């Protein structure tokens, strides 16, 4: 088997749009869970809304910046709709409501009655909304190679998308870094520990939780845009498994850390490609068919992650000391 090309594939996946999209979504989830203790089980819903918001408004002829703003606005409204009734209640309610709401977005998106906007279950073809983003690139058209990696400069699954995507990830990390060491971040951390205590100290806990939910949701929507710009808008490709993968990535990298979600995303997608490649190269076709390799890849990644969580529950970058405190 060709280890060189396997290695190339792994690295390609790690720098690709999927890893970027999940990193953004996991950074958002980190603001919810790692910083504030909110359990959002519908991050995929925020991503899907971002994807729809961006694609539909682009198809309607809006420029890139306006389409991005629409995606952000959709996430803000969604967060407020979910947060206003539930954030005054105990934590579990948010979890239940978000998982249901994300499903509602997906099911409404694929319903035939809306197919003139959303394309129904077929979704929206990439070519119908990618033009304006490619057009915004300052680089010349054509293909470009960097080492073993060759992509078109601007079209579809491009270098331009990777550059913008990683820039977004860097900005999001900077945002989390600044917020985490600020008094605002301190209040969120307090809420994570005991919201009544924070309330007794005069902080409007409800307001802070809403801010956190909105901010993390917007990052999810940006992740959705990146995800969608690499392929198409497909409601079923942003369903529940995406939320669960995002959680896995967050816990793998380390919640409540700045770079944990990014590292988690890189390793998660890298590991998946690596495992599949090894199975394909080392296990004969008669034992595992190509399709079974797909599935077995998920299984092995799942087991690896379970082991990691068992033996390193704070995640790769998490602070063991912080986790070891027994909360009395």
Please report, as ranges, the residues that interact with other proteins according to CB under 8 A. Answer: 175, 178-179, 182-187, 189-190, 192-194, 196-205, 211, 215, 321-322, 325-328
Q: Is 74 helix (H, G, I), strand (E, B) or coil?
A: helix
Q: How far is the CB of 214 from other proteins (least distance, A)?
A: 10
Q: Which is nearer to other proteins, 133 or 208 (CB)?
A: 208
The count of residues in the chain is 328
In whole angstroms, give the CA distance from residue 180 to residue 322: 15
Q: How far is the CB of 165 from other proteins (least distance, A)?
A: 22
Q: Which two three-digit tokens encode residue 62?
A: 């809006």
CB 102 within 8 A of CB 243: yes
- Kindly compute the dihedral angle of the four CA atoms of residues 236, 238, 240, 246, in this order, to the nearest 10 degrees: 160
Q: Which is nearer to other proteins, 199 or 312 (CB)?
A: 199
Q: Is 151 helix (H, G, I), strand (E, B) or coil?
A: strand
Q: Which is nearer to other proteins, 109 or 318 (CB)?
A: 318
Q: Which is nearer to other proteins, 146 or 324 (CB)?
A: 324
Q: How far is the CB of 226 from other proteins (least distance, A)?
A: 23
Q: Which is nearer to other proteins, 185 or 253 (CB)?
A: 185
Look-up of token digits 């010349």: 140
In whole angstroms, give the CA distance from residue 154 to residue 126: 14
Q: Which is nearer to other proteins, 105 or 179 (CB)?
A: 179
Q: How far is the CB of 171 from other proteins (least distance, A)?
A: 12
Q: Which two three-digit tokens encode residue 159?
A: 């270098």
In whole angstroms, give the CA distance from residue 194 to residue 56: 41
Q: Which is nearer to other proteins, 211 or 245 (CB)?
A: 211
Q: How far is the CB of 23 from other proteins (least distance, A)?
A: 21
Q: How far is the CB of 236 from other proteins (least distance, A)?
A: 35
Angle (CA) 232-271-290 rounded to 5° is 70
In whole angstroms, give the CA distance from residue 134 to residue 70: 18
CB 274 within 8 A of CB 10: yes
Q: How far is the CB of 275 from other proteins (least distance, A)?
A: 34
């Amino acid at each position: 088997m060709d280890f060189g090309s396997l290695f190339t594939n792994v690295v390609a996946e790690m720098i690709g749009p999927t890893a970027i999209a999940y990193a953004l979504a996991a950074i958002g989830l980190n603001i919810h869970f790692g910083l504030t203790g909110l359990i959002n089980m519908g991050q995929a819903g925020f991503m899907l809304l971002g994807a729809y918001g961006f694609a539909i408004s682009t198809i309607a002829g809006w420029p890139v910046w306006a389409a991005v703003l629409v995606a952000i606005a959709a996430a803000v409204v969604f967060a407020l709709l979910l947060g206003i009734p539930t954030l005054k209640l105990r934590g579990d309610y948010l979890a239940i409501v978000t998982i249901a709401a994300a499903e509602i977005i997906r099911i409404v998106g694929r319903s035939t009655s809306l197919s003139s906007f959303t394309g129904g279950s077929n979704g929206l073809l990439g070519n119908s909304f990618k033009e304006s983003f490619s057009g915004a690139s300052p680089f010349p058209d054509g293909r470009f190679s960097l080492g073993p990696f060759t992509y078109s400069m601007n079209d579809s699954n491009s270098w331009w998308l990777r550059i913008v995507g990683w820039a977004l990830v860097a900005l999001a990390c900077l945002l989390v870094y600044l917020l985490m060491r600020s008094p605002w971040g301190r209040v969120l951390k307090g809420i994570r520990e005991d919201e009544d205590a924070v309330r007794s100290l005069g902080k409007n806990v409800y307001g802070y939780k809403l801010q956190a939910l909105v901010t993390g949701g917007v990052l999810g929507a940006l992740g959705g845009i990146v995800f969608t710009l690499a392929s198409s808008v497909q409601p079923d490709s942003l369903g529940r498994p995406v939320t669960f993968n995002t959680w896995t990535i967050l816990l793998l990298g380390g919640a409540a850390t700045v770079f944990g979600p990014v590292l988690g995303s890189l390793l998660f997608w890298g590991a998946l490609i690596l495992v599949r490649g090894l199975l394909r190269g080392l296990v004969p076709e008669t034992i595992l068919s190509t399709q079974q390799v797909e599935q077995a890849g998920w299984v092995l990644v799942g087991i690896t992650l379970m082991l990691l969580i068992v033996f390193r529950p704070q995640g790769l970058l998490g602070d063991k000391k912080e986790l070891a405190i027994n909360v009395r």
